[in-house]
Chains A and B, each alone.
Chain A
Amino acid sequence: MILDYTRCKHASIAELEENSLLVRVAVEDTFYAAEVEMVVGLPALEVTSIKGKVKRAFSDKCQQAVPLLNEVVGMRVGSGIIKAVNDLVGGPSGCPRLADLILEGFNDVILRYTMPPLREIVPLAGQAQLEAYQVYLRKSPRLVGSCIAFAEGSPYREGLEV
C-alpha cells in the first residue's frame, strides 16, 4: 500500500485602510479544502464580517455549516474565544475544521500585535534587555507562562505579581 497525503495551510493578515484587518486562512489537504476570510475592526478587535467556503470534504456536514460562520460576527479577539467559536461553529451541528480556521485567524491577529514589541527588545543586551522584558510582561500579562522564557522562576518575571 502506498500512502500519499499532503497538507498545506496558509494564513495571512493585511491592514486595510478603514482601520481594520483582513484575515485569510486556507487549508488544503488530500481530502479537505476550505478557506475563511474575515475582517476584524480596530481597535475593538471585533469581527465585523466573515465569509468562507468548503471546497472539498468527506461529507456535506462542513458545507452545511458554512452559514454558522456568521455567528462569529460581533465576537472579540480576546479571552473566551476558543470556547465560543468551538460552541457556535464547531459544535455538534457545526464543523470543527471551520472552527479551527477561525481560531487560526484569531491567533494571527494576536501575533500581529505580539511580535513588533518583541523585535524591539531582542537587539538589546544585558540589564537593558532584562528590564525591557519585565516591562513588556507587566503590560502583556497574557504572556506569563506562555513559554519557557516567561515561565515561573524566569528572571523576566521578577517583581511581577501574577
Chain B
Amino acid sequence: MIIDLHVHTKELSPDADRDAEEAIREAKQKGLDGICFTDHNRAWSVGDTEKLSKKWDFVVIGGMEVDTAEGHMLVFGLHEDIKKTMHVSQLRQMVDKVGGVIIFAHPFKSFLMFGMSDISLDVEQASARPALQVVDALEAFSGRAGESENRLAQDVAKKLGMKGTGGSDGHRPGEIGRCVTIFENDIKNEAELIAELKAGRFRADYFVGGRK
C-alpha cells in the first residue's frame, strides 16, 4: 500500500497552495493508495478526514508537522494544535501520552547549505544528533530535500537501525507522491497507520508518477 505521509493543505498550512480535495485528486491520479495531511502545527480532526475519505473512497489520515527547536517532526496520533515551538523531548512526552509516533521530517534538509565550503557532515557525525535518539523513525525520502541530503538520511537510518519513511512534503499542485512510504499491510485509518509505523512494516522510495 503506497502512502504519501507528508502533505500540506491550504486549509491549515499558510504556505500551501492547494486544498485537501485537490491533493486527494492528484494522489489518486498518480496511483497512490492513501495520503496523510501533515500541516504546520495544526491538526485535522478525525471527523474531517473521515468525511474526505468517504467522499473520495480513498485513505485520508490526519497528522501534523510540528516545529521543534531541533527541527520539524511529523506526528501521528496527536489531535491538538501546537501553539509554541518546543523541544523534541517535550513533544515526545506529549506523543507518548496518546500512543502516537514521531518521524523526524527531512532531518538533513539544508544541512548541506554551505555548498562549496569546507564544512561537511559524515554519517557518523550526523547519526550523533541527539534529536535522532528520541524519534520513532526518520524521513529518509523527502520530496523537498536534495538527493544528497536524502542519501545522508538513508545512511543515518541504516546506521542507527531506524526505519525511514517517505513523503513529498508537497505544498503545491504537482508535488504529491514525489516520495512515498510503501506499507506491507493495508491501512484504513490512523490507528492502523500508527501500528504499522511502530512495527516497522514499511519501506520508502521515490515515486513520481508510476506505481512501484
Stretch in B2-10, B53-61, B69-77, B203-211 touching the partner: B69-77
Task: Give the residues in chain B near A113, CB-CB below 8 Å.
Answer: 114, 117-119
> Who on chain A is nearest to B110 by CB?
A79
- In angstroms, Cα B87 to Cα A84, docked, is 10
**Given that A84-B67, A84-B85, A88-B85 are contacting pairs, would A43 and B121 also be in contact in the complex, using a CB cutoff of 8 Å?**
yes
- In angstroms, Cα B122 to Cα A42, docked, is 11
Whether a CB of chain A sits under 8 angstroms from the CB of B128 is yes
Interface residues of B in 120-138 (CB under 8 A from A): 120-121, 125-126, 128-131
CB of A91 to closest CB in B, whole Å: 7
B85/A83 in contact, CB under 8 A: yes
Grouping DSSP codes into helix (H, G, I), strand (E, B) and loop, the B interface class, with mixed when no group exceeds half, is: loop
Task: Give the residues in chain B near A29, CB-CB below 8 Å.
Answer: none
Contact pick for A140, options B116, B121, B126, B130, CB 8 Å: B116
CB of A117 to closest CB in B, whole Å: 4
Interface contacts (Cβ under 8 Å), in number, total 74
Interface residues of B in 66-95 (CB under 8 A from A): 67-72, 84-85, 87
A136/B115 in contact, CB under 8 A: yes
Categorize the interface residue count of chain B.
Answer: 20 to 34
Contact pick for B113, options A42, A75, A140, CB 8 Å: A140
Whether a CB of chain B sits under 8 angstroms from the CB of A158 is no
A79/B69 in contact, CB under 8 A: no
A140/B114 in contact, CB under 8 A: yes
B111/A78 in contact, CB under 8 A: yes
